[in-house]
Amino acid sequence: MKIVPDRREEIERALPGALEGHDVLLTSGGAWGSERDLVVDVLEELGWQRLFHRVRIGPGKAVGFGLLGGRPVFCLPGGPPSNEMAFLQLALPGILRQAGWRRPPFPSVNARLTEPVQGREINWTQFKRGKLSYGRDGRFQVTPYRPRSRLESMALADSLFAVPEGVERLEADHWVSVQVLTQLPHWS
């Protein structure tokens, strides 16, 4: 792990040796591609074989992935919610796959939404954080987590579900596939 100042010359010095002795490189920040986001530009200059940059998920759109010297490089966005989602949905499954895992990193269950959920954009998949519980019928239900802050939601939500691309709203009682981030809740 290395903290590199957000200056082109510092990033140019740090990246070439970052893969020495490592199988994968994860960067955090500098992934969006504006004039202030330098990591992807420097990787391009170093001959990075970009496989994708920017995807249709939110949060986490700015994520990039490619090969540098034949080794995987995940460029994660710098904002905490985007960084976390890009890591959970793309980098972690990729790293585990490289390590020989053949199953998803998180168990998933089908759960009924307890209330409607509005998507922010209909042109990408929007991930939402939730709280998983058992309904009166003994089946899973998920309640969208409504935090006071985005960091609170990252810390306290126990599950993730998606509002798919092209869908503006999911109604209460709609069944969704839920990624479980913690142990499954116990019967109460």
From residue 148, alpha-carbon distances to 91, 128, 129, 166 in Å are: 28, 15, 13, 28
Residue 1 confidence (pLDDT) above 50:
yes
- Cα dihedral sign for 181, 82, 177, 120? positive
Q: Which of 164, 145, 162 is nearest to 154 (CA)?
A: 145
All structural domains of the chain: 8-98 (3.40.980.10), 108-180 (2.40.340.10)
Helix (H, G, I), strand (E, B) or coil at 144: strand
| Model confidence pLDDT, tens digit, residues 64-121 | 999 998 999 999 999 899 999 999 999 999 999 999 999 999 999 999 999 999 887 7
Token duo for residue 95: 């790293």
- Nearest 5°: phi and psi at 96? -65, -40
| Model confidence pLDDT, tens digit, residues 22-55 | 899 999 988 876 777 789 999 999 999 999 999 9
Task: For the chain, give the percent of residues with pLDDT over 90.
Answer: 62
What's at 42, amino acid-wise?
V
